[in-house]
Structure 1
């Protein structure tokens, strides 16, 4: 698969996992759900794992994939005194 073909599949997989954040799925399951070939999905999934978008557990061929919820910072530390110029 060429790079220009991989980007739309990368976006499709990212959106699929974001839309189903609690789903855990195998490569074969993703092949069925997305209607894509394993050969095309495998490198895209590995890239998304490297980017931290999804998590992979287990070893091939029984690996499972799930969305990796981004960390959200809810508090900010603001110093009591700010220096003025």
Structure 2
């Protein structure tokens, strides 16, 4: 996993910088200047982590950035007591 971490970061940053991009593994490899065979396991890891979403089918997979869910806990009672 340590070996793929820099590539995971590059791939994540590519999609974060282009949040509406939908791309093939080949397109991702061209954009990052990497080999497709190096990109594929990283894409799988990012999908498993919920960072990328897979679209399309087995023959023509497409990937897009999946915006992370942010959960905020509000202390409403504490706010009311301070007011």
Given the two structures, how large is their TM-score scaled by the length of structure 2? Answer: 0.81
User: In 1, distance between residues paired with 2:35 and 2:4?
Assistant: 12
- Shift, 1:77, TM fit: 6.5
Q: Aligned-residue CA RMSD in angstroms? A: 2.2
For this pair of structures, how many residues does the alignment match?
80
User: In 2, distance between residues paired with 1:42 and 1:4?
Assistant: 16
- Shift, 1:26, TM fit: 0.5
Given the two structures, how large is their TM-score scaled by the length of structure 1? Answer: 0.79
- Structure 2 residue runs of 5 or longer lacking an equivalent are none
User: In 1, distance between residues paired with 2:43 and 2:16?
Assistant: 14
Greater helix proportion: 2
User: In 2, distance between residues paired with 1:60 and 1:34?
Assistant: 22
User: In 1, distance between residues paired with 2:26 and 2:37?
Assistant: 11
- Structure 1 residue runs of 5 or longer lacking an equivalent are none
